[in-house]
């Protein structure tokens, strides 16, 4: 799978980005340190996570890949803020984490907004005061009567549409990478320690 993302240029911006497999990330949940391991993570220098590229779920696995990738997005937010502090930068108040899940061969795209409030609620094992709305793009081939016919990579129309959507999503990934890379993202800096 890594080859597809490298071929599509996910690792070309920002400079120094790399596609990593099985990248372990710490997650503070209910006061306990756990780890999550997305199958593929796009990182840049200083180990800052840019995108959780995919949580590979196979058809025979009953887990909900959306719930899993949201937990991984929160872990990425925690990790990036820890890295920012170690680099002498202030923590971010919020970051929308671009994520891709793949169930079988069907990708779904997500933009997971992680805020300071959500992060604190997760760390304390509480419900946040505000609803978090995850934006998703569930490809049309996930619908029962898909206009594309078969829903796997052996079907040319499916493959073409999947690659087109992944290329478009790369631009959203790049926009979010700028947010975590900016030293002067003044309106998104958390002044509290």
9-21 pLDDT, tens digit each = 877 766 777 788 8
- The answer, yes or no, to whether residue 2 has pLDDT greater than 60, is no
Range 69-108 burial, b when 16+ CB lie within 10 A, else e? bbbbbbbbbbbbbebbeeeebbbbbebbbbbbbbbebbbb
| Two tokens, residue 17 | 């980005």
How far apart (Å, rounded) are the C-alpha atoms in residues 18 and 82?
20
How far apart (Å, rounded) are the C-alpha atoms in residues 19 and 131?
31
pLDDT at residue 184 in the model: 42
pLDDT band at residue 54 under the 50/70/90 scheme? low
pTM: 0.83
Q: Where are the beta strands (DSSP E) in the chain?
A: 18-21, 25-29, 32-36, 40-44, 48-57, 94-103, 106-115, 135-138
Total domains in the chain come to 1
Q: Is 37 among the domain residues? A: yes
pLDDT at residue 107 in the model: 81
- The answer, yes or no, to whether residue 84 has pLDDT greater than 80, is yes
SS3 state of residue 110: strand
Residue range 147-176: mean pLDDT, rounded: 76
- The answer, yes or no, to whether residue 142 has pLDDT greater than 80, is no
pLDDT band at residue 103 under the 50/70/90 scheme? confident
Q: Is 107 among the domain residues? A: yes
Tell me the pairing of strands 48-57 and 94-103.
Answer: parallel
Q: Is 100 among the domain residues? A: yes
Q: Is 193 among the domain residues? A: no
Q: What single-letter DSSP state applies at residue 155?
A: S
Q: What range does the domain containing 29 cover?
A: 2-188
Better-scored residue on pLDDT, 100 or 186: 100
Q: Is 143 among the domain residues? A: yes
């Amino acid at each position: 799978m890594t080859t597809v993302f490298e071929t599509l240029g996910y690792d070309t911006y920002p400079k120094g980005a790399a596609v990593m497999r099985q990248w372990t990330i710490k997650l503070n949940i209910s006061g306990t340190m756990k780890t999550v391991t997305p199958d593929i993570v796009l990182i840049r220098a200083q180990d800052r996570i840019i995108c959780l590229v995919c949580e590979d779920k196979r058809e025979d696995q009953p887990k909900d890949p959306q719930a899993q990738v949201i937990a991984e997005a929160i872990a990425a937010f925690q990790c990036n803020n820890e890295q920012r502090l170690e680099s002498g930068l202030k923590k971010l108040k919020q970051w929308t984490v671009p994520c891709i899940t793949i169930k079988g061969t069907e990708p779904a795209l997500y933009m997971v907004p992680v805020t300071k409030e959500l992060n604190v609620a997760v760390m304390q094992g509480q419900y946040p005061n505000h609803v978090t709305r995850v934006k998703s793009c569930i490809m049309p081939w996930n619908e029962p009567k898909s206009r594309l016919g078969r829903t796997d990579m052996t079907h040319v129309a499916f493959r073409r549409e999947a690659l087109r959507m992944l290329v478009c999503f790369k631009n959203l990934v790049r926009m979010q990478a700028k947010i975590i890379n900016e030293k002067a993202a003044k309106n998104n800096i958390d002044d509290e320690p």
